Structure 1
Amino acid sequence: MSAVIEGVALSRLHAPTLTVLPTGVAANVARVRASTGAAVMAVVKADGYGLGAVPIARAAVTAGATWLGVTDAADAVELREAGLTEPILAWLNPSGVDARLAHEHRVDIAVGSVEELRQLAADAAAPVRVHLHLDTGMARGGCPAEDWAELLRVARSARGRIEVTGVMGHLPRADAGDPCANAAAVRRLRQGRDAVLRAGFGPLTVHLAATAGALTDPATHFDLVRIGAGLVGIDPSETTALAGAARWTASVVHSARVPAGTPVGYGGDHVAERATHLSVIGVGYADGVPRELSPAAGVAIEGARHPIVGRVSMDQIVVDTGGTAVPRGAEAVLLGPEGGAVPSLQDWARWAGTIPHTILTGIGPRVQRSIA
């Protein structure tokens, strides 16, 4: 958008924006469904990996996901109020479990210890559906195998207040993309499932695999696979190219031509080696741009990749556009699925020495969200 004052064209800035691409989510669900005969759970933790739990859930359900996964039972309320009726599982519950809320909103609860199950049974005035969570090798939650029999004893004594409907675990080495790395976890879950069936519970929904397992190891699929990172284009095993599900854009807020020898940004860590054009973009580390970046980091402006130079500031980054003078108001694309000059999540993770998950979930609330 532009205006004209006394014959001079003026470009308006647009707010930094993260646009959700439902077509990318749908393509990723379709890719997973082609890899398994199991049902698909769309995991929309962390507000849908920062893209919005409701739009991500809707896109996934439209594409064939039949379950939804959240961190906390309270997170399910937003999905129910948005009209989503699919089964929902909450399995971390860092604030504890509100048994009344879980019953009223039809939220299944994962329980990974005898203490948790006793507490839930004591709090439940009406039946709560429970998935028993077995530690299958991660030691990061889940009931240890030596406590499994006691967990089942408590579950039997709590019938009428809890209803055991599932058994779950996690794959500690799914990102290896190697079925041999998952074999011990598969064996443990089968043993845990069989003990639950012998205890008289069932039918059960059994699930172990997340995105990487779903894409690489059919033995891990059981009845249901849980897809979170895969919804937004991340395959932790790096074996499958998935579709990007977001585009991040911001405006050039200032441009200038500078001579050789000009220091850039705080501390003058970068010094222009030649006369060049610099463009300032209105996002910084407060918005999720990693402060520590390799020299390869850049953004796309007008179809070309330009390097980020100088330190990343709280509210701004500077890019060197060389011989190209970029007008104020031009759009910079920090992230997108287009390829070519446009950086991907994987590019940012490589530049920052981290994983794509932290890049996407780290994009801050000052960046507006929209849906394509």
Structure 2
Amino acid sequence: MSEPVVSEPVVSEPVVSGAGHAGEVVVDLAAVRGNVAALREHAAGAQVMAVVKADAYGHGLVPAARAALAGGATWLGVAQVGEALALRAAGVGGRVLCWLYTPDADLAPLVAADVDVSVSAPWALDRVVAAAAAVGSVARVHLKVDTGLGRNGCPPAQWPDLVDATLRAERDGAVRLVGVWSHLAFADAPHHPTVRRQAEVFEDAVAVATGRGADLEVRHLANSAAVLTSPQVHYDLVRPGLAVYGLSPVPDLGGPADYGLVPAMTVRTTLALVKDVPAGHGVSYGHEYTTPQATRLGLVPLGYADGVPRHASNRGPLLVGGARTRVAGRVCMDQVVVDLGPDSPAVAGDPVVLLGPGSAGEPTAQDWADAAGTISYEIVTRMSARLPRRWVGQEVT
């Protein structure tokens, strides 16, 4: 495995989204490109679908999608119809798969935009067939089987009927069945028996489809964790999400660098106020923190409305003026307070890093996940849209 790709922070003029906020999210697109290149090595011959749902896990849908394609991804994956259409409206190419919609969704724009559509139930197939007729085009579909996650996907008992209905629609010229797929429940525990069991159910489902005449282009089951730890389930296509953005989906097994990944997101701001207070001074709502000595407090203008987890009150780590500290007291809607210590030289305007790659001593998304009792996925995706995004490390065109 190659060494982690460490990019220069800016290789072209940065693009900024939003303005007027004291903080910002900086996304290194060179890191995204490098991460996809590393994931291609892990995938060992399988194609890579970079999952860019949820605004590319908070990193910016269109810029991250373009960076992923530049890194070698040939597919993009999204959950919502609007995400797929936003990619196409921005001129993003490559194959795109969309997999989450309700019976009232208008799927015709997806078919018209050359987007592959997932089908998990007869009603969904009917909607896709109707969309194809409305557009006057053949719709590409991937059938999803529930191999044991119990979420989306067709139950195995109903699978043969769904396959037969899809193949009839294919013979009628309405659809093209290009893929069969599913999702793992315990991919972050690669030795858990469900991983092998779900693979067996998946392979049985593929056999049913091919036995009935399906000519499949792709079979796909592996998410980020399985890409890194379970090569036996890579098949034709893998679907990394979190790892595209440089975070480890298996932090108990290894950090980003262990898998050749570099975190792409940095969240930063500056101190809005520094003041001296006496010992015994209550800090923030409910006075859940009281200063143990005369000290200096710093005000950080980011709060839970910006994505700072309230569950990390009194625990969330920050880098302030180059020194590690933590949230003092409750996280508020727009701000948090830090106890800088009595001898701190900090002044208003000093830099604050909430999270980043960790290479300069700053906390990581995983550090915040640990502090809040959650996962790094939630930390990066919850960063509010009101925080401006700045994309650096772009290819010069």
The two structures have a TM-score, normalised by structure 2, of 0.87
Q: How does 1:114-153 map to 2 (within 5 A)?
A: 114-125=122-133, 126-153=137-164
Q: Decide which moves more: 137-146 or 92-101.
A: 92-101
For 1:14 and 1:84, locate their aligned partners in 2 and report how far apart those are by CA, in whole Å. Answer: 29
Deviations for 1:84-110, whole angstroms, at most 9, x for unmatched residues? 210000011247543321221110001
Residue 154 of structure 1 deviates from its aligned partner by 1.1
Flag structure 2 segments of 5+ consecutive residues without an equivalent: 1-19, 393-397
Name the stretch that deviates more: 93-102 or 183-192.
Answer: 93-102
Aligned equivalents of 1:307 and 1:155: distance in 2? 55
For the pair 1:370 / 2:390, whether they are aligned, the reply is yes
Counterpart of 1:23 (choices 24, 27, 30) is 30
Could you tell me whether the CA contact under 8 Å between 1:15 and 1:368 is conserved in 2? no
Equivalence map 1:156-171=2 (5 Å): 156-159=167-170, 160-171=173-184
Task: Structure 1: give runs of 5+ residues left out of the alignment.
Answer: 1-12
Query: By how many angstroms is 1:363 displaced?
Result: 0.9
For 1:76, give the aligned amino acid: A
Residue of structure 1 aligned with 2:49, choices 19, 41, 45:
41
Residues 227-270 of structure 1: CA deviation (Å, up to 9, x unaligned): 11111122222234231111101121111011111111122221
Alignment of 1:1-372 (within 5 A): 15-36=22-43, 37-94=45-102, 97-125=105-133, 126-159=137-170, 160-178=173-191, 180-238=193-251, 239-240=253-254, 241=256, 242-293=261-312, 295-322=314-341, 323-339=343-359, 341-372=361-392
Residue 66 of structure 1 and its aligned partner are, at CA, apart by 0.7
1:298·1:319 contact (CA, 8 Å) conserved in 2? no
Give CA deviations for 1:301-331 in whole Å, capped at 9, x if unaligned.
2211022101111111001111113211111
Give the Cα–Cα distance (whole angstroms) in 1 for the partners of residues 320 and 108 of structure 2.
Answer: 52
Q: Secondary structure at the match of 1:26?
A: helix
Give a deviation string over 1:173-199, Cα, whole Å, max 9, x none: 101032744111111111111111122
* Structure 2 counterpart SS, 1:212: helix
Contact (CA 8 Å) 2:107, 2:127: kept in 1 or not? no
**Which amino acid letter does the alignment assign opposite residue 254 of structure 1?**
L
Q: Deviations over 1:321-345 (max 9, x none)?
A: 1111321111100011133530100
TM normalised by structure 1 equals 0.92
Q: CA deviation at 1:58?
A: 1.2
The question of whether the paired residues in 1 share the 8 Å contact of 2:103 and 2:124 is answered with: no
Separation of aligned partners in 2, 1:257 and 1:200:
76
Secondary structure of the structure 2 residue equivalent to 1:124:
helix
Whole-Å separation in 2 of the counterparts to 1:157 and 1:68: 28
Q: Distance in 2 between matches of 1:192 and 1:264?
A: 58
Work out whether residues 14 and 251 of structure 1, in 8 Å CA contact, stay in contact via their aligned partners in 2: no
Report the CA distance between 1:295 and its aligned residue: 4.1
Higher relative contact order (CA 8 A, sep 6+): 2
**Counterpart for residue 3 of structure 2:** none
CA distance in structure 1 between the partners assigned to 2:115 and 2:105 by the alignment: 10
Give the Cα separation in 2 of the matches to 1:246 and 1:208: 27
Q: Percent identity?
A: 39
Cα distance change on mapping 1:179 and 1:204 into 2, 3 Å: farther
In structure 2, the residue corresponding to 1:360 is in which secondary structure?
helix
SS of alignment partner, residue 79 of structure 1: helix
Contact 2:49 2:75 in 1 (8 A): yes
**DSSP 3-state at the match of 1:98:** coil
Q: Against the structure 1 CA distance between its residues 201 and 194, is the aligned structure 2 distance closer, same or farther, given a 3 Å change threshold?
A: same
Alignment-mate amino acid for residue 298 of structure 2: S
Paired residue secondary structure (2:149): coil
Moved more, 200-209 or 97-106: 97-106
Aligned partner letter, 1:78: A
For 1:285 and 1:47, locate their aligned partners in 2 and report how far apart those are by CA, in whole Å. 19
Find the residue that maps to 2:340 and give its secondary structure.
Answer: strand
The answer to which of 297-306 and 73-82 deviates more is 73-82
